[in-house]
Amino acid sequence: MAGPDGTRRCLWALSAEDYVAYHDEEWGRPVRGDDALYERLCLEAFQSGLSWITILRRRTGFRAAFADFQIAKVATFTDADKERLLADPGIIRNRAKIEATVANARVLADWSPGELDELIWSFAPDPASRPAPKRLADVPAVTDESTALSKALKKRGIRFVGPTTAYALMQACGLVNDHLEDCGFRSAR
């Protein structure tokens, strides 16, 4: 559907003003680097059970609360930090998700630099194997690759990353291109 500027976008991108910039500038574009991927992994986990707009509107608060998602810093968070986070109105105050975010940073702090990036990107499917979706109903919530990525991350100690969360991560970080066939941003990745 064409937006106010005449550019065709995925329909979901026009459902809220905050979505337009996210759709146009971020969603589906390749994200590389351990800290950047850790941030997206955490935000996708926090989104579980909520709408993405809720997370997007609190992103600044999440970044402030979680030290800009620098793995090395979050890995040092104490029980007092977790209690601070539970009282922070700028984020989603879910104990299990906060605990997972800190626990995942501790796991990732022991990995070699670039290891998270390499692992996640190793599950990117061949783009030729995925035709452009014509409508939103053609976009899956889970794929074989997202199921395998979820299992690989869980096997390595990462929490709160089921196959649906893993697929949302793959979409957001450009491992797959789920911009609809007639979206003006499909080829902008």
Q: List active site positions.
A: 22, 44, 52
Tally of CA atoms within 13 A in the half-sphere of 75 that contains its CB: 14
Contact 34, 1 (CB under 8 A): no
Which structure tokens are listed for 14? 């026009």
Sequence-distant (6+) residues with CB within 8 A of 15 are none
